[in-house]
Amino acid sequence: MMHDKKILFLDLDGTLLNDEKEITPGNMAAIREALRQGHKIVITSGRATISALKFAKKMSLTSEGCYAITYNGACIYDLCHQKPIYRKTLAKDIVRYLLEAAEKAGLYAHTYTRSAVLSAHNTRELLSYTTATTMDYLIVEDVCQALPEEPEKVIIINLDEPQRLHDFQKSLAGWAEGKADSFFSCPNYLEYMPVGVSKGSAVRIFCDMFDIPPENTISAGDADNDIPMLEATHISAIMKNADASMRAHGNYVTEHDNNHDAVAEIIYKFILTNGEN
C-alpha cells in the first residue's frame, strides 16, 4: 500500500504539454525528481494509448510501476509491460451508428485500432488530429468492417464551426441515452465513450487496484473531460490557462500556465514538500 507516497494523475494537452505539444524542461525535471523519491505519475489523457505511450517514453515513464489512463478512462495501460490491464469498449453497432450519423450531418469522425486512427476520409481534420497526437492513420472504405476489435471511443471533429458539434450532440441525445456518453475534450472535439467511462471512474478503479489511499491522490487538468478526474482526487489543481468556469471543480489554481512549468509548480507544492493537502 502506498501510504507514504503521492500519486499525480496528469492530463497531457493544455496541462503537462505546452502549446507546441512539448514538455518544458522545468516540468521534466520536477517529474524526474518526484519519481526519484518514489512518487507516482500517471498520465491521464483523452488520447489513444499509442499516442500517450510516445509521450511516456519521452518522460522515461516506462519503468516498473508506471501506468497511463487513456481514451478518457476507457483503458488503464501498464507502460512497463506495454499491455492494458483494464478496457471498456463501444459495441460495433454503436460505432457504426455514430459514424453514419456524423457522415449524414457533414461532420468528420473516426475511431481507432490499437495502433492507428481508422477513418473513411482523408480530411484536414484527420491531418490536424494525427499531427497533434503523432499518430498513424489508415483510410478504409468500411471502418467498422476493418476494426479488429471493439474500440474505446469515437471522436467527431470540426475545426471551423464547433457549434455544429453541439447541435449534433443535442440531436443524438435521445438515441445515446444508455448506449454512449458524450462530452467535449476541447471546443473542436466531441467524444463518444462507453457509458459510465470517464477519467474519474478510471482514477477510482486504479486506486482500488493498487490500494492507494484517497488522501494521497492529486490531479491536474484544464478541460471539461478532466472534471471527473479532478473531482475524484484529494487535491485537484486547475491550470491557470483553463477557462474560468473550470475553477469551480478544483481546490487549487496554478500561478503559472501550461507554457511556464505549471506542473512543476504542482509537484513542488504538493508532492516534494509538505504543501497543503
Strand order across the 189-193 sheet: 136-139, 116-119, 108-112, 154-157, 189-193, 181-186
pLDDT at 274: 52
Residue 265 above 70 pLDDT? Answer: yes
Q: Could you give all domains of the chain from N- to C-terminal order, each with its CATH number?
A: 7-87+197-270 (3.40.50.1000), 92-193 (3.30.1240.10)
Residues 69-114 have pLDDT tens digits of: 999 999 999 998 999 999 999 999 999 999 999 999 999 999 999 9
Distance (Å, whole) CA 152 – CA 72? 9
- Which cell numbers hold the place of 153? 471511443
pLDDT at 87: 96
- Which cell numbers hold the place of 67? 501506468
pLDDT at 269: 96
pLDDT at 79: 92
Please report which confidence band the pLDDT of residue 181 belongs to, taking 50, 70 and 90 as the band edges.
very high
Burial status of residue 174 (CB atoms within 10 A of its CB: 0-12, 13-18, 19 or more) = exposed
Distance (Å, whole) CA 232 – CA 217? 9
Please report which confidence band the pLDDT of residue 224 belongs to, taking 50, 70 and 90 as the band edges.
confident
Look up the pTM and report it: 0.86
pLDDT at 172: 98
Query: 51 φ, ψ to 5°?
Result: -70, -45
